[in-house]
Amino acid sequence: MLTLYDNPFSPFARKVRMALQLKGLDYESIDALALREHDRLSGVNPRAEVPVLVDDGLAISDSADIVSYLEDRYPTPALLADRAERRAKARYWQRIADTVLDAIVHDISIWTWPTHSRSDAPPTGLLEAGRGDLIELIGELEDAIGDSGFVCDRLSLADIALFPHISSLKPLGVLFDETSHPKLLEWNRRMREVPAVRDDLDYVKKSAVEKFISGPSPYEGEKVVWRGDRIEWLLAHGFQDWLYTEISEGRAIFPRSV
């Protein structure tokens, strides 16, 4: 049995869950970001980050590495095309999702998290900078979507890596419409028809009720985890003073280096 150290809301865990379902693989899910599971998560990943997949005693962390492992270990059905250029395109968009999109969405959404009750406001210009970069990125994605309606020839790694991030843009004030982004709108509709995606969305919605409405949140409610790409985006846009304040006031934590 595969074991996934999971979290309902992590875009990286969501990508892996969809990959597992698309491949028809059974697995046990552990909500490893819950505070009560911290030691257990640290035992398989010293950085205490999700997702981690354990297969017959082998622990693989980092969502991109997990999906690569699944492609090697369970190759059918494939999440990458046979053609080298299509495989490169899928990996490119996975990298954009995992680094650039994640960093921006994370950094500008902190004030909307149900786990955190911030009494402050975002630093001046942060939301505008994030929305500007996101609009530029979705323009590039609009151009990248092929005639098939997916990013590559068919549903692939690229689509399941992008979807958790793209589906979170509306609450952040980043919209796309029939005039500016017709292919992206159709892609979004097409993705929501995929059973693995529908099941993931249902799981996220159900978990939101269970974790945040039915009782106290099981997660860290004050400190925010910062790491490479998320820090890089802040610094590139000149918000180093705000980040330093977060650190000095004890609201920022950093994963271990290994």
**pLDDT(256) > 90:** no
Q: Provide the CATH number for the domain formed by 84-194 in this structure.
A: 1.20.1050.10
**pLDDT(156) > 90:** yes
| pLDDT of res. 31 | 98
Q: pTM of the entire structure?
A: 0.97
| pLDDT of res. 258 | 67
**pLDDT(194) > 80:** yes
pLDDT digit string (tens) for 118-145?
999 999 999 999 999 999 999 999 999 9
| Confidence tier at 225 by pLDDT (50, 70, 90) | very high
Q: Which among 174, 176, 191, 48 is positioned nearest to 112, based on CA atoms?
A: 174
pLDDT digit string (tens) for 58-73?
999 999 999 999 999 9
Q: Where are the domains of the chain?
A: 84-194, 224-253
pLDDT digit string (tens) for 162-193?
999 999 999 999 998 889 999 999 999 999 99
| pLDDT of res. 177 | 87
CA distance 122 to 165: 20
Grouping H, G, I as helix, E, B as strand and the rest as coil, residue 228 is helix
Query: How far does CA 156 lie from the centroid of its chain?
Result: 16
Question: How, if at all, do strands 252-253 and 224-225 pair?
Answer: parallel
